[in-house]
Amino acid sequence: MRLLAIDTSGDACSAALLTETGLHQQLTPEPRRHADLILGMVAALLQEADLKLTELDALAFGRGPGSFTGVRIATAVIQGLAFGADLPVVPVSTLAGLAQGRHRRQGARRCLAALDARMGEVYWGRYQLDGQGLMHLVGPEVVSTPDQVELPPDGGWEGVGSGWEAYGARLCQRLGERLLAVDPAALCEAQDLIPLAAAGFTTGLAVSAEMAMPVYLRDQVTRGT
Reported as a pLDDT band with limits 50, 70 and 90, residue 30 is confident
Q: 113: domain range? A: 94-183
Overall domain count for the chain: 2
Give domain status of residue 222, yes or no.
no
Give domain status of residue 220, yes or no.
no
Give domain status of residue 219, yes or no.
no
CATH of the domain at 141: 3.30.420.40
Other beta carbons within 10 Å of 84:
11
The CA distances from residue 63 to 76, 152, 154, 191, in Å, are 11, 25, 29, 14
pTM: 0.95
Give domain status of residue 104, yes or no.
yes
Give domain status of residue 217, yes or no.
no
pLDDT tens, position by position, 47-68: 999 999 999 999 999 999 999 9
Where are the extended beta strands (E) located within the chain? 3-7, 13-19, 22-28, 58-62, 89-92, 110-116, 122-129, 135-137, 142-144, 157-160, 179-183
pLDDT tens, position by position, 66-104: 999 999 999 999 999 999 999 999 999 999 999 999 999
